[in-house]
Structure 1
Amino acid sequence: MEPNLPDVVLWSIPAFVLLTVVEMVSVRFHPDEDAAGYEKKDAATSVGMGLGSLVFDFVWKIPIVAVYTAVYELTPLRIPVLWWTVPLMLLGQDFFYYWSHRGHHVIRILWACHVVHHSSRKFNLTTALRQPWTSLTVWPFYVPLIALGVHPAALAFCSSANLVYQFWVHTERIDKLPRPFEYVLNTPSHHRVHHASQGGYLDRNFGGILILWDRWFGSFTAETERPVFGLTKNIATHNPLRVATHEYAAILRDVRAASSWGERAGRVFRGPGWAPAAAPVPEPERVA
């Protein structure tokens, strides 16, 4: 029997709108010259990417639900949806979210999906809405939860709750929180590091709700210097289609230009910045 769980994202939309307006007013009347702030075209692009993701996620949901349902029917395990099991499911989903998020930073074909979320040089609540249109790469990371007996609808609820939580951490208007919160939770300070393009901040702080995973698995970095947001190679476009697909196009160009099958595989499955080692330049012959 499918559990009856609320649509967390739908119920949160009024809060999203209200908080975004509050942040805009705050920036308008109390600007910070060093902060990323708002820019109309950038914010419009982020909102457009978010609306587009709702459409594409609905399409991708069809095959994903089919796979999850098949796995759920095959496993003999069942975890009921009870007041005390839901927090455990949320914990499990957040754990696998960490590995999914980390994987989408270190494998280029996965990064091609996730790069959309990092493509803005601004960091505000509309940045949270800048979501990819090719999220079909995410589902394999959660198969273990389904195999353990978590109903697909319960997983969808937990994933939505995780997504909603992360909305508020996309802001520069909140400084560091008291130490206990900063130690356990993903906060605006931790997530600013995650969106920064400086070398010491790259590929850090992957946690969704909890930052504990980063502390335990060696990917945590505290915010010290002010972050510079965006990509190491920024894109100069507000066209949603190009924002959604620019890294796939770059992969295709690199694969076409590759000189071997090993290089082609590396361009797809190694890290986003990977390139084959340059051949050593032979030393000139010496005349006795």
Structure 2
Amino acid sequence: MHVVHHSSEHYNLSTALRQPVAEGVTWTVPYGLLALIGIRPSAIENARALNLVYQFWIHTEVVRSIGWLGRVLNTPSHHRVHHGSNRRYLDRNHGSILIVWDRIFGTFEPEGEPVVYGLTRNIDTNNPARIATHEWRDIARDIAGSRTWSDRFGYLVRGPGWAYSRRPAAAV
């Protein structure tokens, strides 16, 4: 679902607004589970709203650094890496507000080389229907072309860095 958000080859505040229509379906499970264990739906909604507000401002190339706060908080620089299609930037800097989790789990990557925005295979269209659905078609093609059940499952649930390394060079 999230690939829609990453499909823009430009990085600015409007990129923050490029959200998948069907993402509401994928968020139902984790947020539903939080509600089932007793967290008030209003608290869940407020946390989601705070997260979305924070996420908006980090979609910029204008802010280069926020100083020492970047050791703890996700910054525009950290998030630019997250949006990069450069091989070294794939599957990096997942943190929404805090970047400490990426530092702890080894998924942190500082911004070094210039970031190339977009997908590992750009789709070259502005058609909203194609933008919203192309990844489903690509996943189906990858699964159909897989030789093992492990790879089929991987194409369904793992990230672009994993898939990138398994596709033939011509398909990447």
TM-score, length-scaled by structure 1:
0.52
Is 1:209 equivalent to 2:97 in the alignment?
yes
Asked if the contact 1:197/1:228 (under 8 Å) is kept, the reply is yes
Tell me the equivalent position of 2:141.
253
Asked if the contact 2:86/2:115 (under 8 Å) is kept, the reply is yes
5+ unaligned residues in a row in structure 2: which ranges? Answer: none
Tell me the equivalent position of 2:62.
173
CA 1:224–1:262 in 2, change beyond 3 Å: closer, same or farther? closer
1:262 Cα offset (Å): 5.6
Tell me the equivalent position of 1:159.
48
Matched to 2:80, the amino acid is R
1:144 Cα offset (Å): 5.2
Matched to 1:176, the amino acid is S
Separation (CA, whole Å) in 1 of partners of 2:148 and 2:93: 35
Describe the superposition over 1:163-222 as per-residue Cα deviations: whole angstroms up to 9, x where unpaired.
11110000001111111x111111111111111111111111111111111112211111
Tell me the equivalent position of 1:71.
none
Tell me the equivalent position of 2:16.
128
After superposing on structure 2, the runs of 4+ consecutive aligned residues of structure 1 that deviate more than 6 Å are none
Question: Which of 1 and 2 has higher RCO (CA within 8 Å, sep 6+)?
Answer: 1
Asked if the contact 1:170/1:192 (under 8 Å) is kept, the reply is yes
Describe the superposition over 1:64-86 as per-residue Cα deviations: whole angstroms up to 9, x where unpaired.
xxxxxxxxxxxxxxxxxxxxxxx
Tell me the equivalent position of 2:85.
197
Rg comparison, structure with higher value: 1
TM-score, length-scaled by structure 2:
0.84
Aligned-pair identity (%): 51
Matched to 2:112, the amino acid is T
Asked if the contact 1:194/1:205 (under 8 Å) is kept, the reply is yes
Separation (CA, whole Å) in 1 of partners of 2:27 and 2:101: 18
Note the aligned Cα RMSD (angstroms): 2.3
Separation (CA, whole Å) in 2 of partners of 1:271 and 1:128: 20
1:256 Cα offset (Å): 4.1
Matched to 2:93, the amino acid is N
1:253 Cα offset (Å): 2.8
1:142 Cα offset (Å): 3.7
Matched to 2:52, the amino acid is L
CA 1:255–1:199 in 2, change beyond 3 Å: closer, same or farther? closer
5+ unaligned residues in a row in structure 1: which ranges? Answer: 1-112, 278-288
Separation (CA, whole Å) in 2 of partners of 1:173 and 1:222: 17
State the secondary structure of the residue aligned to 2:2.
Answer: helix
Asked if the contact 1:128/1:170 (under 8 Å) is kept, the reply is yes
Separation (CA, whole Å) in 2 of partners of 1:227 and 1:236: 18
Q: Number of residue pairs matched? A: 164
Describe the superposition over 1:96-141 as per-residue Cα deviations: whole angstroms up to 9, x where unpaired.
xxxxxxxxxxxxxxxxx01011101100000000101111123333
Tell me the equivalent position of 1:240.
128
Separation (CA, whole Å) in 1 of partners of 2:58 and 2:91: 17
Is 1:116 equivalent to 2:4 in the alignment?
yes
State the secondary structure of the residue aligned to 1:220.
Answer: coil
Asked if the contact 1:263/1:276 (under 8 Å) is kept, the reply is no
Asked if the contact 1:267/1:275 (under 8 Å) is kept, the reply is no
